[in-house]
Amino acid sequence: MLTLTANAAQAIRDLTATAPEPAQSGIRISSEGEGASALTLSLATAPEPADAVVESDGARVYLDPVAATVLDDKSLDAGADDQGSVSFLVTEQGM
């Protein structure tokens, strides 16, 4: 199952703090196009019916079935640049 670093959990909590339903809001990672050639990340107020839900330290990530398979052994990290823009990075677990 996808894991979240402390940085990723904090970034997700920051992004969803002003959402209409912060108690259920998170980010959703979904596949785009044929197969798993591209994954997209968006804010979501709740999971879709088939989504896997990853929760860590108050942060929620919703994964569509393809994304859940692709990211099963991965970790999600986050960082911010000098302007405060957040970027997410997928790494191998344990790195």
Which DSSP symbol is given to 21? S
What domains are defined for the chain?
A: 3-92 (2.60.300.12)
The residues facing 52 across adjacent strands are 63
Going by pLDDT thresholds of 50, 70 and 90, the confidence category of residue 60 is very high
pLDDT, tens digit, for every residue of 65-83? 999 999 999 999 999 888 8
pLDDT, tens digit, for every residue of 83-93? 888 999 999 98
pLDDT, tens digit, for every residue of 27-56? 999 988 666 578 999 999 999 999 999 999
**Mean pLDDT, rounded, for 57-61:** 95
Going by pLDDT thresholds of 50, 70 and 90, the confidence category of residue 6 is very high
Output the furthest CA–CA distance in the chain (Å, rounded): 37
The CA distance from 3 to 19, in Å, is 23
Measuring CA to CA, how many Å separate 73 from each of 20, 26, 64? 31, 20, 15
